[in-house]
Structure 1
Amino acid sequence: MVEDLKQMDLDYVLHTYARDYTHFVKGSGARLFDKSGRDYIDFGSGIAVCSVGHGNERLAKALSEQAYNLIHTSNLYCIEPQVRLAKKLVELSGYDMRVFFANSGAEANEGALKIARKFGEELGKIKRYQIITLDSSFHGRTISTLKATAQNKMHHYFGPYPDGFVYAKNLAEIPHKVSNITCAVLLELVQGEGGITPLDREEILHLEKFLKEKNILFMVDEVQTGIYRSGELFASRKYGINPDVITTAKGLGGGVPIGAVMTTLKDIFVAGDHGSTFGGNFLSTRAGLEVLEILEEEKSSGRLDTKIECFSVKLQNLQKTYPEIFIEEVGLGLMRGLRMRNLDTLENLLKNAKQNQVLILKSGKNTARFLPPLTITLEEIEEGFKRLERAIRDLKL
C-alpha cells in the first residue's frame, strides 16, 4: 500500500519536495503514527503549523460544527468568525491595527509589500518603492516574496523579478542602504530558514527609532514567530517594538491554511485595492479563534513558559554533553535550534532521529531546528529527548 502510494505520488504530483515516504495516518498531541502503528514524537509540528498538536479535540469539534453550518460565502458578505478573530488578534497583541486575512504566510507578506508600495505613493513627490530586507531571510515563494527573500540560491530560473528590493548584510547596514525611494524595511526577528537566528534587541530598538524618524515603515514577518511560538503572541512584544505592519500565518490555524497581515495604517486600502477569494472564510477563521483560545490558556496558566524553559534546558544539556557535535543552543520560545559543527553530521542526525522515532528539521546550513507543538506535554518532551539522545549516541558509534 505504501509503495503504491509512493508510485502514485511520483507519477501524479509535481516533484517540488524531497519526500520522505513515511505514511502517517494519525496524530495525537505531539505524536504521529505511521501505517504500522509506530509512534513518532513530532518536534517539527508541520514546520510550526500544528500549534495545538495533532488530533486536537477542541479544534476538530470547532471545525466540524462550522463545516455543518457554513464553510464559505466569500468576502462580499460579513463573516462573523473573521470579525471576531480580527478583534481577538488586535486585542491580544495590544497593537492599534486592522487585519486582512489571506491563506498563507507568502500571501500575508504580499499584502505587506502592497501596503508598503501604496504608502510610498506621495502625490507631487518621487514615488518611494524600495524595500530593504536582510541576508538569509525568507519571506515566501511567490514572485515578489521570493525576490524579497535575500538568498541568491532562491532566485534561479524565475526572473525577471519586480524591482525595488535591496538587501542588507546585517541590522547595522540597513541605515546605509536607505535612499530617497525607500518606503519600508521587512525583517524576521528570528530568521526561521536562516539558522534560527534571533536579532539583537538593542539593535532592533535603535533601528525602529531610525525608521520612525525617516518615515519608513517597519514591517515584521512573524509568519513563524507569531501566535505564541516566541512565548508571546508576537515576538515584536518580546522585543518591545511597535511595528507598522505584522504578518503571521503558520500556527494561527493549527493546520488549516490561513494568513494575516495587520497594520497601523488602518485606511491604507480601499475597496478593490486588495482581496482574496478564500482568505478569512468561515472555516479558517473559526479554526483561528479556537487555536487562540487554546493557546491563551496555555500562556495564562504558565504551562507554556514552563515547557519553553524545560525544552531550552534540555537542548543546552545536549550541547554541554556533546560539545564535539554541537556549538550552541539558539532561538527563543519553542522556536529553538542546535548549531552543529559539521553539515554531514546534521544530515545524519536528522536521519538517525527519524529512525529513533523523533522528528526534527533543518535550518540554514548547520542548524537542527526544533518547533514542537505549543501544547506538547512535559512527558512528551521527556520521551522525545530520550529518543533524540539515542540518535546522537548512534552518531558516535
Structure 2
Amino acid sequence: MAKHGFKAIQALDKAYVLHTYARANVAFVKGKGARLQDTQGKDYIDFGSGIGVASLGHSPKALQKALKKSAKTLIHTSNLYYIEPQAKLAARLVEYYKRGSSDKAQWRVFFGNSGAEANECAIKIARKFGEKSGRYKIITLDSSFHGRTIATLKATGQDKFHKHFAPFPDGFVRAKNLADIPNKIDSQTIAVLLELVQGEGGINALDKKQVQDLAKILKEQNILLIIDEVQSGIYRSGEIFASKVYGIEPDVITMAKGLAGGVPIGACMTRLVDVFESGDHGSTFGGNFLSTNAGLAVLKTLEKMRKDKVLDVAIKYFHTKLDSVLKHYPAIFSKRVGLGLMCGLQVRNGEILTQIISVCLQHRVLVLRSGGNVLRFLPPLNITKGEIDEGFVRLIHALKELKIPQKPKNTK
C-alpha cells in the first residue's frame, strides 16, 4: 500500500505540480509484468506500458539487476570522460541495426534523455550538413509528432500543439502525405523527417512501397532521410527498428521510450559521423552509467526474445485478440491499425473514445488514445498470454457497458 492514500497524493499533486496533464483518478504504487497495483490494492492490466516505455513490463529482474549494479558502482560521471556502458550500448544499436544489411557505412550514436532531445540532435545534424550549400528546410507530415521543445513542436504536423508558443524557428515545411513530399522539395530542402508509424497521429502505418520510393528520390537529390523511431523503435515493430521492416536505409534514426525500460534515455544514430565536431552538441545527463546500463539490459533481453520468436508469438496473439474485438464490435470499431505491438483499433465515432478509455479504467485495463479516433495499445513487449487474455476480458466487459448496438449504421 502507498504511504499516503490516493486523496492525499492527489491533493499534494494539485498543490505543487504544474497542471500540464489531465490525470486519471488513480495512483499506482507497484507493478509486476503487465500488471499494476493502485493505492487501494486493486490490480490493473497495463496495455499502455507507460506510453511505450516499460518495454519489459514493470519491475523486470534484468533491469533491477542492472540498476542495482550501477547504483553500487557508478551512476554518473559526465561526458567529459569515457563511459564504458555508453560505448557498448552504441555498439549494440549499430550492430543490431546493420545485421543482415548491405549497409557498409560507419554509424555512430549520440545519447540524450528523451525522444525530443534525440530529434533535436537530428535537426541539428541536418542543419549543419546543409550549411555550406545553404539548405536548411526540413519536411514533415501532417498528423506527425516529434516532441515538445520549440523546434520539435514546430516540426510536429498538428496545429493543436502550436497554440500559444509562437514565434517558432523557421525552416519546417509540412506535407499532406507521402505523395505530397516531392512537391514540397526546393533548393533549400535538406531533410525529410518521418515517423513510419505515427504514434500520436492515429497509429497510422505509412505505405511501405511509397516510403521506399520516397527514399530513392531523396537519395538521388542528396536530401537526408530522418526516421523518428521514438515510439516504433526498440523491437516494438517486431524488429530492432521499423526501418528494417520497411526495408529502407535512413541517414538518421532517433529513438527513446522503450530503450531503457523506464529510465530516461534518448538516442540519435547516424551515418553522418563527420558532421559534428567537439562542442557542437552535448548533454549533461545523456548516456550516463545508469541509463546505458539499463539500455544494455533491456536490449539484451529483447534481442533474445526476437531470436527465440517469443516476440513474434506475442504480436500474433495480440493481433488475434484485437481482430476478435473488431469482429464482435463492428458498431464501435472499423479496422485494426499499426505495426507489431504498436497497434490500435479505429473508432467509428471519435466522440466516444474518451468514454471507452474511461470505462476501461473502471474495469482496470489501461489503454490509450491516438489522434481523434484510435484506441491505442502499447503493451509490454514481454507480455504473457495470460496477461493478454485477462486484459481483453476486462476490455470486453468495458465495451459491453457502453451498450452500443452490435451492428454499425448502414450495415445490412
- Superposition TM-score tier, normalisation by shorter sequence: over 0.9
1:191 equivalent in alignment to 2:201? no
**TM-score, normalised to structure 1's length?**
0.98
> Once the two structures are aligned, what percentage of the paired residues are identical?
62
Query: Are 2:75 and 1:71 aligned?
Result: yes
CA distance in 2, matches of 1:8, 1:314: 39
Q: Does 1:102 align with 2:112?
A: yes
Structure 1 residue 176, shift from structure 2 partner: 0.5
Instruction: Show the counterpart of 1:340.
Output: 347
**Distance in 2, Cα, partners of 1:105 & 1:63:** 21
How far did residue 185 of structure 1 move? 0.2
Pick from 257, 264, 284 the counterpart of residue 257 of structure 1.
264
Deviations 1:203-236 (A, max 9, x none): 0000000000000000000000000001100000
Q: Deviations over 1:306-356 (max 9, x none)?
A: 010011111111111111110001111000100001123211110111111
* Cα shift at 1:292: 0.2
Q: What amino acid is aligned across from residue 118 of structure 1 in structure 2?
A: K
Is the counterpart of residue 212 in structure 1 residue 243 in structure 2? Answer: no
What is the alpha-carbon distance in structure 2 between the residues aligned to residue 344 and residue 156 of structure 1? 22
User: Which whole-Å CA distance do the structure 2 matches of 1:36 and 1:152 have between them?
Assistant: 40
**1:172 and 2:176 matched:** no
Residue in 2 that maps onto 1:20: 24
Q: Matched residue of 1:220: which SS?
A: strand
2:362 is the counterpart of 1:358: no
User: Which residue of 1 is the match for residue 233 of structure 2?
Assistant: 226
| Paired position in structure 2 for 1:10 | 14
Give the aligned partner of residue 54 of structure 1.
58
Residue number in structure 2 paired with 1:114: 124
Q: State the partner residue of 2:408.
A: none
* Pairing 1:387–2:382 present: no
Report the AA paired with residue 172 of structure 1. A
Query: How many Å separate the matches in 1 of 2:142 and 2:298?
Result: 32
- Larger CA deviation: 228-237 vs 152-161: 152-161
Q: Tell me the SS of whatever aligns to 1:85.
A: helix
Distance 1:21 1:350 in 2: 12
* TM value normalised by structure 2: 0.95
Tell me how far apart the structure 1 counterparts of residues 37 and 272 of structure 2 sit (CA, whole Å).
Answer: 45
Q: Note if 1:157 corresponds to 2:164.
A: yes
DSSP 3-state at the match of 1:158: coil
Amino acid at match of 1:98: R
Structure 1 counterpart of 2:334:
327
Shift of 1:297: 1.2
Equivalent position of 2:407 in the other structure: none
Unaligned runs of 5+ in 1: none
Q: Report the RMSD for the aligned CA atoms in angstroms.
A: 0.8
- Aligned to 1:114, the other structure's residue is in SS state helix
2:88 aligns to what? Answer: 84
Does residue 46 of structure 2 align to residue 42 of structure 1? Answer: yes
The aligned amino acid for 1:101 is F
- Number of aligned residues: 394
Aligned match for 2:139, one of 132, 137, 144: 132
1:311 corresponds to 2:318: yes
Deviations 1:123-148 (A, max 9, x none): xx4x1000000000000000000000
> Aligned partner of 1:288: which letter?
G
Q: Secondary structure at the match of 2:211?
A: helix
Task: Trace 1:251-290 onto structure 2 (pairs within 5 A).
Answer: 251-290=258-297
Determine helix, strand or coil for the equivalent of 1:131: strand
SS at match of 1:293: helix
Aligned to 1:291: 298
Give the distance between the partners of 2:190 and 2:127, measured in 1 at CA: 7
Cα distance in 2 for residues equivalent to 1:36 and 1:71: 33
Counterpart-to-counterpart distance in 2, 1:14 and 1:87: 39
Cα offset, 1:8, TM superposition? 1.0
The runs of 4+ residues in structure 1 deviating greater than 6 Å are none
For 2:249, what is the secondary structure of its paired residue? coil
Return the letter of the residue paired with 1:81. Answer: P
Could you tell me how far 1:4 is from its partner in structure 2?
A: 1.5
* Whole-Å separation in 2 of the counterparts to 1:224 and 1:23: 24
In the TM superposition, what is the alpha-carbon distance from 1:21 to its structure 2 partner?
3.0
DSSP 3-state at the match of 1:67: helix
Amino acid at match of 1:251: G
What secondary structure sits across from 2:383 in the alignment? Answer: coil
Amino acid of the structure 2 residue aligned with 1:347: T
Cα displacement string for residues 25-59 of structure 1 (whole angstroms, at most 9, x for unaligned residues): 00000000011211100000000000000011110
